[in-house]
Structure 1
């Protein structure tokens, strides 16, 4: 885990696959025209973009990478397979479709988007991801919205464990048991909804923001980074994309981190679907 003092926009983590992933990425969920946001991100130093088949913008992300002038090898791109497409053969087909839409020869990180398809299809899908990784189409594979029991079923099946678990993590929903499990087994935690979908009226967050002369969004980004998470703040506004990364000139003190940590409401604090308890 990077230390607080070493954090910058270029900070990366080395995953189980051997590849490195930038900690801060741009999320493009619910962005039907994400090219401007992606171009702003890449121009200002981001090197990580998180998409999904469900978002229907893989082609736009690929276009932005090509138009940015940044070399493909320098940009870490994630996508995900949604649960209706789960299954061995359908997953392999989906991977090829994603590659075609992006216009890429490989994808840096491919995730199972959720555990909602049931154990049998989850494991079939995971086996397909592992085979596609061996074939060189995917560099790293992982999961999203997986609870402990979903991760355990992969271990019990004798399969390679995910390199990443992307879950909702933010001050109101810290998913501490899942985070602890992932850290025990070397599964890196990516945090989505780190900006709590704009719920910035909390007095604690506002107090901390005033103290450091930052806005609440920047405090939330910094909180995630200091906890050692990769995070995926999203915005369709280029100026907000840039602002969200302006977090490397301050550190939140321990006592203020503790105040934010105390906001945790468990599952009740989720701002999104959070299907970590799915059967």
Structure 2
């Protein structure tokens, strides 16, 4: 095993935070945050490999699982929950699992992340199989719940990836396709909900967005499969139809009312016009 340094626990580059002016606190946090996209940029080749594997699995009917604890688990659940309304996919295509279950989404669950068996048991509840891919998320790269879940996946021939913020962590060494986002010490020592959390969120956005584009869930640059569950989204859908088909707002609204989805409305309109011609 190569050397492992837990950078996420190293002392902040700033001290006496309580003595800083509010302006200095905010400016300092902002300065630290500016380094996050650069850390993500360095990991782009790793991210690309993961996206390729995710797309491969999803095209074959497999599922993408995120598994994490605390902030990392919450970020995975957030990304998974946004896929159905954004891309119109089934809620079982991307699944987020957090140590401690649904209670842990809002409240810390004592010792949940230290359980070495529960992560795999939680995956088994979804009948996890070799057609799926599991991404373990842990800023430290040492969370027992996540590391051991991925170990069991590897033992059972299930493809795995990881997102962590320390080099050569146990999680990276376990996963088939590790992503390492080396953002450095946090503004508040050890508070990995800050830069580490931001970096993880950026990468999760990349993974699902790029995967859905590869799966044909975007047309041009528009969310044509989105679920229109509120007035804003209905208006957005109507605008897409107006731009794509060069029709009036009345026609666009009628098409949406009939077909409930932008893609279906476009296809119906174009098929009708082709038939007339």
> Normalising by structure 1, what TM-score?
0.32
| Higher strand proportion | 1
Structure of higher CA gyration radius: 2
> Normalising by structure 2, what TM-score?
0.32
